[in-house]
Amino acid sequence: MSFNQYKDKIEEGDTVILFLGVDDTLTIRIKHGKTHQTRYGAVRHADLIGKQYGSRITCIGGKGWLHVLHPTPELWTITLPHRTQIIYSIDISMITLQLDLKPGSIVCESGTGSGSLSHAIIRSIAPTGHLYTYDYHQQRCDKAREEFTDHGIGDLVTVSCRDVCKDGFDVEHIADAVFLDLPVPWDAIKSAKQAFKLQGGKICSFSPCIEQVQRSCDQLRESGFVEVTTVECIARPYDVKTICLPPYNMGYIEGSTESSDDAPTDTKPKSSLKGFTAKCGILPKETAGHTGFLTFASLYTE
């Protein structure tokens, strides 16, 4: 199976997303003989083999049903096993756009972490691009490599165990884009510059704190990057509700030419106008907040 190529039917070894509802999804790897327990009952892997992706499956025990979905980078991001903090799809979409990722792009990334962003990058640059991803944590590198292979995208990515702040990236003049998700990104910026193609490219650094952003911006400018811009992506989901609005009182008493403002309150006649109902988009009182700042910059060397 491949995250990058859709197929119709579930096979042994596939990574399948079990969709039990919004905010209730999980990933399983299909292995004949295994059974998975969900809150709606059990699912036998053998029963899924040969089923169409997208099918509705009734769980054993009859407590409910779920859908079996083909994996995508977005679904992987919300179900993957967290080994680190990860980048989520709202930030990923901005990164993909601003770094101008497309089929054939060569990208350097550090750190690899849990591979959330890596999966999305690989989908954007396939089938002819390549991702070089670096992390100084050996187990995270091994696990990410294993997942990329299991997900059929292993040939599009090279995972290296390396401290990019101390030892730099081990590639020169090949990258169209560089992405940094590091605690001290400014220490990796000079060597990131070496990774870019001779004509330059785009860099992005993700940092949760504004102090990190300030140091990165200074280092980017010092290193010759231009168009340094920082953005923060915050989703504002609106609740759609039916509301009833009272009639607007224009200040007139029906059947009279006098203004109601002059009459004592208790003698004011009630308006016979009815309120009206309407569908409205209402902002939630609290918006799920800050993930981090995305600092983008460009390098033009020729």
Ligand X SMILES: C[S@@+](CC[C@H](N)C(=O)[O-])C[C@H]1O[C@@H](n2cnc3c(N)ncnc32)[C@H](O)[C@@H]1O
Residues lying near ligand X in the complex (CB under 6 A): 84-87, 110-111, 113-117, 134-137, 140, 163-165, 181-183
Distance of CA 145 to the CA centre of its chain: 20
Q: How far is the CB of 106 from ligand X (least distance, A)?
A: 18
Instruction: Name which of 47 and 150 has its Cβ closer to ligand X.
Output: 150
Q: How far is the CB of 198 from ligand X (least distance, A)?
A: 25
The number of beta carbons lying within 10 Å of the beta carbon of residue 146 is: 12
Q: Which helix (H) or strand (E) segment is 20 a member of? A: strand 15-21
Instruction: Name which of 59 and 86 has its Cβ closer to ligand X.
Output: 86
Question: Which residue bears the tokens 């209402």?
Answer: 282
Say how far apart CA 182 and CA 212 lie, in whole Å. Answer: 10
Say how far apart CA 59 and CA 77 lie, in whole Å. Answer: 25
Conformational region of residue 200, where left means phi above 0, alpha means psi within -120 to 50, and beta covers everything else:
left
Instruction: Name which of 87 and 203 has its Cβ closer to ligand X.
Output: 87
Instruction: Name which of 10 and 121 has its Cβ closer to ligand X.
Output: 121
Instruction: Name which of 105 and 116 has its Cβ closer to ligand X.
Output: 116
Distances 34 to 10, 29, 136, 203, 204 between C-alpha atoms, Å: 15, 10, 35, 44, 42
